A = this chain, B = another copy of it.
Amino acid sequence: MLFTVSRTRRLLQCVSRLLQCRYIQKGHTQTNGGLKKAISAFTSLCGEDGVSTGETVREQHGRDESVHRCRPPDVVVFPRCVEEVSALAKICYRHNLPIIPFGTGTGLEGGVGALKGGVCFSLRKMDQVLDVHQEDFDVTVEPGVTRKALNSYLRDTGLWFPVDPGADASLCGMAATSASGTNAVHYGTMRENVLNLEVVLADGSVVHTAGKGRRPRKSAAGYNLTNLFVGSEGTLGIITKATLRLYGIPEAVVSAVCSFPSVQAAVDSTVHVLQAGVPIARIEFLDDVMVDACNKFNSLSYPVTPTLFLEFHGTEDSLDEQVRTTEEITSANGGADFQWARDEGTRARLWKARHDAWYAALALRPGCKAYATDVCVPLSRLPHIIVETKEDLIQNGLTGPIAGHVGDGNFHCIMVLDPDDSDEVQRVHQFTERLARRALALEGTCTGEHGVGLGKRALLREEMGPGAMGVMQSLKESLDPKNLMNPGKVL
């Protein structure tokens, strides 16, 4: 473990505070109304600058990037180490105060809203990369480390962490929401890339899901607790450390773009590319509306048809073959204008449309807000659901260009809406429910990567059925019997 001076100082501060506050551990359980006492105990523990009840700070921590309305917590705490997180959680437990973990606030389903008030645990001060094991392809990070910060830290090691949901989210937040993104088709999602988690449970106890400090690349030792907490959205515990798999930075990267006469042709190409064993790193779909928006936003001139944006990672030689095979496949499926590029500048230009899709969609209606739907279906069902969804959008006069991680069967309609137009808000809501139910009818899921949060609790029940929901509820009750951990989310 690397002990930097700042980390050592921070640890000493923590220990000193904990010694000062040991009386807290002996306090008796209060059933209600203990907020004031709790805040006083928080301040003894974390100092004045570690606790905030200011309106602005609370509001900043009561919303994410979704359209769900802000629900500020009663107080925000800024712990500096797991010992503080644990001590703070114990205080909350004693006073029956809800706990809402907060990473970067880049979630998309209202997961950080304080529905029942309570205490927001902002983890941004715990921002150290703790251990890089180059030969073992793993790293351990604190919860304030974002994916870009990690990749910047790793730059000289020849390694990187590839899971990329777009936003510069915290890695532990990404674990909490089971995030994935553009290159999950090759590198997997957070589910496949977390080796171990340190978690503080509702009662303040600290648990290591694969045993303390362990990091074998595989294990058959007992229940897979790591993947129980991955995707639990803060409802089972606070993730305070994550050990992640790393990968060698590819020797070379090629980007490509190809236009198709139909959604079916684009999806067929994707299936054939996967069947051919091309280890494609990203394969992204934009529909004609999205391409049109991107053209206008960036002064580009892509044909306004369904389009695939592709990326290949590998050695120079292997990329030639990957690109050749893919071009043959897309061509056989009616693809046209296959363009590819190897140098960084041209690659960036080629993919600019995909990278700016969100802003291009927003620019369709200046002053409006955007909300991204997030269904995922088996690959063969994609043409059907996309065609039906586009008809639905037109029929209901809604703006919702489509971008998708088509290699996983996962796509988003970027719904652009006027939040003050209650009729439109209502129509968007009804549309997203119809879309989710369409995915469920096609053996898919209502969320491929954004999670359930606030917005999809009813859909989750439809998706899982009473049996699986009963199991989830049992697990929740066994680990959080007081329902203090991010209450009102997921279940």
Q: Report A's interface with B, CB cutoff 8 A.
A: 133, 135-138, 158, 177-180, 184, 188-189, 191-192, 201, 205-225, 227-228, 230-232, 236, 247-248, 250-251, 271, 274-277, 279, 313-315, 317-318, 321, 325, 374, 376-381, 408-410, 440, 443-452, 456, 460, 463-465, 467-472, 474-475, 477-479, 490-491
- A467 to chain B: closest residue by CB: B207
Residue of B nearest to A325 (CB): B315
Q: How far is the CB of A227 from chain B (nearest CB, A)?
A: 4
Report whether A409 and B216 are in contact in the complex, using a CB–CB cutoff of 8 Å: yes
Residues of B within 8 A of A449 (CB): 218, 220
Chain B residue at minimal CB-CB distance from A324: B317
Closest to A109 in B: B220
Interface pair B214/A223, CB less than 8 Å apart: no
Docked Cα-Cα span, A212 to B466, in Å, equals 10
Inter-chain contact B490/A222, CB cutoff 8 Å: yes
Residues of B within 8 A of A317 (CB): 317, 321
Contact, CB under 8 Å: B224 / A460 = no
Q: A135-B380, A178-B219, A219-B445 are in contact. List 7 more A-B contacts (CB 8 A).
A: A192-B192, A208-B467, A211-B440, A211-B445, A217-B378, A227-B228, A251-B277
Chain A at the B interface: SS class: loop
Distance (whole angstroms) from the CB of A216 to the closest CB of chain B: 4
Copies in the complex: 2
Residue of B nearest to A378 (CB): B136
Q: Is the CB of B445 within 8 A of A216?
A: yes
Contact B217 A443 (CB under 8 A): no
Known contacts A230-B224, A275-B158, A315-B321, A479 near B471 by CB under 8 Å:
yes
Bound Cα distance from A25 to B377, whole angstroms:
38
20 pairs, CB–CB < 8 Å, chain A vs chain B: A136-B378, A138-B378, A177-B220, A178-B219, A178-B220, A188-B192, A192-B192, A216-B376, A216-B409, A218-B376, A220-B447, A220-B452, A221-B445, A221-B447, A222-B464, A223-B231, A227-B228, A248-B275, A471-B479, A478-B478
The 8 Å CB contact of A277, one of B208, B248, B409, B456, is B248
Please name all residues of chain B whose beta carbon is closer than 8 Å to the beta carbon of A177 when the two chains form the complex.
220
Please tell me if the beta carbons of B448 and A219 are within 8 angstroms of each other in the complex.
Answer: yes
Among residues of B, the one whose C-beta sits closest to the C-beta of A209 is B468
Residues of B within 8 A of A381 (CB): 136
Contact assessment for A477 and B478 in the assembled complex, using a CB-CB cutoff below 8 Å: yes
- Is B225 a contact of A231 with CB atoms below 8 Å? no
What's the least CB distance linking A85 to chain B, in Å? Answer: 14
Query: Closest CB of chain B to A103's CB: distance in Å?
Result: 15
A333 to chain B, nearest CB (A): 13
Q: Which residue of B lies closest to A278 (CB)?
A: B315
Contact B211 A468 (CB under 8 A): yes
Interchain nearest-CB distance for A468 vs B (Å): 5
Q: How long is the Cα–Cα vector from A207 to B443 in the complex, in angstroms?
A: 16
Within the complex, the shortest CB–CB distance from A424 to chain B, in Å, comes to 27
Partner of A221, one of B314, B460, B479: B460
Q: Given the known A-B contacts A211-B468, A463-B211, A465-B208, are A376 and B217 also in contact in the complex, defined by CB atoms under 8 Å?
A: yes
* Residues in B neighbouring A491, C-beta threshold 8 A: 222
Contacts of A247 in B (CB 8 A): 277
Which of B158, B217, B277, B378 is within 8 Å of A250, CB to CB?
A: B277
List residues of chain B with CB within 8 A of the CB of A222.
231, 452, 460, 463-464, 468-469, 472, 490-491
Asked if residues A211 and B465 are in contact (CB atoms below 8 Å), the reply is: yes
CA A137 – CA B210 in complex, angstroms?
Answer: 30
Tell me the complex Cα distance, A277–B315, Å. Answer: 8
